[in-house]
Amino acid sequence: MSVDQIHKLAQLLRTTREQEGLSVRGLAQRAGVDAATVLHLEQGRIAQPKPDKLRAVGHALGISTADLYAAAGWLPSTELPTFRPYLRSKYQELPDEAVAEIEAVFERLARDYGLHGPQDGEDELP
């Protein structure tokens, strides 16, 4: 993990724990790990966290494994879902019109900020 990824992960864990109103010891107990592990993760003192410990802490905080692994830099951007499949999976109840509207806003924002996403059809399953 890079220094930036370590800090990003630490911030995610600390901020989420604080939003949940948990102490370091309370989170450790809920996750089944040592309080020192939680503290060291939140302080960015573990350069290569063990996946099982990270998953346990994330689960106790309600953070998905994919979000944790993305913050840790363990998922290359080519393995992350693009926006359309994400919306279809996460928000299945959204009508097609709403998905199209969200995509249009996202595409405008990406364009405004100089981001380049997949070409038409690249994110679609065969």
Token pair for residue 16? 């989420």
Nearest to 64 by CA among 95, 92, 90, 102: 90
CA distance 53 to 114: 37
Report pLDDT for 76.
67
Give me the residue spans of the domains in the chain. 3-77, 81-126
* Confidence category of residue 21, pLDDT binned at 50, 70, 90: very high
Tens of pLDDT along 103-113? 899 889 988 99
d(CA 28, CA 26): 5
Which tokens belong to 74? 């363990």
Q: How many CB atoms lie within 10 A of CB 69?
A: 18
Structure tokens at 68: 């944790």
Q: Which CATH architecture has domain 3-77?
A: Orthogonal Bundle (1.10)
Higher pLDDT, 76 or 64: 64
Asked whether the beta carbons of 68 and 54 are under 8 A apart, the reply is: yes
Task: Quote the CA–CA distance of 44 and 4 in Å, as a whole number.
Answer: 10
pLDDT of residue 28: 97
Neighbours of 119 (CB within 10 A): 7
